Chains A and B, each alone.
Chain A
Amino acid sequence: MSDVILKVENLDVHFRSSASIVKAVNGVNITLKKKETLGIVGESGSGKSVTATALMRLLPKGIGSIPNGKITFNGKDILSLSDKEMRDVRGNEIAMIFQDPMTSLNPVFTVGDQIEEAVRTHQQMSKKEAKKKAIEMLKVVGIPEPEKRVKMYPHEFSGGMRQRVMIAIALSCNPKLLIADEPTTALDVTVQAQILELMKSLQEKNDTSIIMITHDLGVVWEMCDKVIVMYAGNTVESGTVETIYENPLHPYTWGLLESQITKNTLNGDKLPAIPGSPPDLRNPIPGCNFADRCPYAKEICSTTKPQPIEVELGHIVSCHFQTNSNRLERKERVYIE
């Protein structure tokens, strides 16, 4: 047995919206080992959250579907589990935390109730034990005076504290995989660092694997072992963090890097956007999805789809001009003026 905990092969996700089909994710592949952290980066709308939601099988009923692909988690074929079996996986073996801690906790239940509920859904435990567990989890995630805090409601917590509570809920059943969908985007910079630190230390303690969804390549360099870069529902580049850091090859990745650098030099809060917008996912285009916005695009780019190529061991890129025999010359400051 290998220690691969999650394997996603050729995952497609479609949404039915009025009279058309949105192809939100196309052929995503993920291999994640125990204790590893995978980063998924990409602009807004690139399909990161949809991918994560599909892993949990929580796509909106009747609207979202997975026409293709295979998800193997901990030896289980996720897509063929019954609803009941899937519920046993959710929150227990795969847990998830979301972007906005202000809205992801239920305002009308105490945080204690919300942690206890997570525990008692998956473990035989008396109310009293669950309460103890809740207090313990609050302590674990570094909330002071947990005995007092369990009885409080989310609105009595700060944003950072709420995200800690979310982490407490997520980790209360010792999941093998934690999916964190932009867990720090809504937080202050200093709090961001604390939350990431907390996640890292808890990961070490519990051998959890993490999928970290983010806009911020800084977070990826900091936290992850592997990264996939998504654009308009496709993986455009993937590899280990070292390779991508040392040798990024896809023009879209270069764009992300450049906006990162611009942000750092300007000391801004927000990532400056790459000009232009992604293609309409309802009408697949024949060529490269990035062609409209790519400074390196040539004619072939708008007529033929680039195929993923393993340019070096474990480093996969989809671009016509980044092949084993051919390399693009990277130009500086071509995206953001």
Chain B
Amino acid sequence: MGKYILKRLVDLLPTIFVVAIIVFVITRLIPGDPAAVMLGPQASVEDIQELRDDLGLNEPLHTQFLQYIGDLVQGDFGVSLTYNQPVISLIMDRFPNTLVLAFSALVIALLIGIPAGIISASKQNSVMDYTVMVISLIGVSIPIFWLGVMLVLYFSVNLGWFPATGMGTMDEGFITYIKHLVLPSITLATIPMATFARITRSSMLEVISQDYIKTARAKGLKEFFVIGKHAFKNALTPILTVLGMQVSALLGGAVLTETIFSWPGMGRLIVDAIDKRDFVVVQGTVLFIAIIFVLVNLLIDVLYKIVNPRVNYSSGKGGEGK
């Protein structure tokens, strides 16, 4: 297993390289001058030229590229002009906050979505089933930035139960901390939760009619174990696939959620940077998030092997990219 992980890590290098190239291409090749965008419409030609020089945009492309890759390899994501700080330190300041938000959203989504899907499948066509299906369909269709605003409207503005914005610190007490976390994490959890419910239901339905479920029942197992152990472990593979995709959705959703709730995370950082036209920060943060995503998917690939013994350990092909 250790060897497998190492091998996959090495496999990831080209993907990360491609990701870096994409960011480079977007920033340098696509029509539009980042320097002009950064300085805004009122900027003078001289100012733009000066900034272009600063950013190295006047060098030949291949020099720019080598410079860029060279910096990245050293963990240098550039220096923000508006914050006057290396981008990586800006990211490292905010990344833990995004992690807290994304993680609590993921926990909520898994803890509610998966059981809901299981119950729905084991009571197919019941009122319970239909209720879960309708709610989860609304859940996958809801614009979360709207949901967030509505939660603020009802639970902060009208009822005053939770703060509308900001992140509590542990110094202010655990309760305050949690109170700040509730609305943003529910907002961010909604889509993954609904998606988990749907995928769990459909893969459980597929599994429940299998012969080995009959075997499990014929052994005299409690229904709880038949469903929760024998059926669920078989239904896990598609759920894991979705988990991989949801991590991406969570990181994307964080941008919106953090904006609504002024959550001091990476998403907020990106949006602020866009407002300030700090292109270097946008580019670095986006690249950082993509790398995180790639690493998370490695983790999920490893989980595939644990869950599914039929996947070959050595080939490293198993659950990739489905």
Contacts and interface: CB of A to CB of B under 8 A. Distances in A.
B219 to A, nearest CB: 4
Contact of A106 (B218, B222, B234): B234
A58 interface: yes
Interface string B197-236: 0000000000000111011111111100000001001100
Interface stretch (B18-26, B148-156, B302-310): B302-310
Interface string A85-119: 00111111001101010011111111000000110
B221 A108 contact: no
Interface string A35-60: 00000000000000000000010100
A92 B220 contact: yes
Given A107-B310, A108-B234, A153-B310, A58 B217 contact: yes
A90 B212 contact: no
Interface in A190-218: none
A108 B215 contact: no
B211 A104 contact: yes
Given A117-B221, A122-B220, A103 B211 contact: yes
A236 interface: no
B309 A106 contact: no
A98 B215 contact: yes
A109 B309 CA distance: 8
Contact of B212 (A56, A87, A107): A107
A34 interface: no
Nearest to B237: A108
A49 to B, nearest CB: 10
Interface size class of B (residues with CB under 8 A): 10 to 19
A108 B222 contact: no
Interface residues of A, number: 28
A153 B308 CA distance: 10
Given A98-B214, A155-B310, A106 B221 contact: no
Nearest to B231: A106
Given A98-B211, A100-B211, A103-B212, A108 B308 contact: yes
A89 B220 CA distance: 7
Interface in B271-322: 307-310
Contacts of B309: 107-108, 110, 153, 155
Contact of B217 (A90, A107, A153): A90
B218 A90 contact: yes
Nearest to A93: B220
A11 interface: no
Contacts of B219: 90-91, 117-118, 121, 169
A132 to B, nearest CB: 19
Given A98-B214, A107-B234, A108-B234, A87 B221 contact: yes
Given A96-B218, A109-B233, A104 B310 contact: no
Interface string B222-264: 1000000010011000000000000000000000000000000
Contact of A87 (B211, B214, B220, B308): B220
Interface of B: 210-212, 214-222, 230, 233-234, 307-310
Q: Which 9 A-B pairs have the closest CB atoms?
A: A90-B220, A91-B220, A91-B219, A103-B211, A106-B212, A104-B211, A96-B218, A153-B309, A87-B220
Given A106-B230, A108-B308, A169-B215, 7 more contacts: A56-B217, A87-B222, A90-B220, A153-B309, A153-B310, A155-B310, A169-B219
Interface of A: 56, 58, 87-92, 95-96, 98, 100, 103-110, 117-118, 121-122, 153, 155, 166, 169
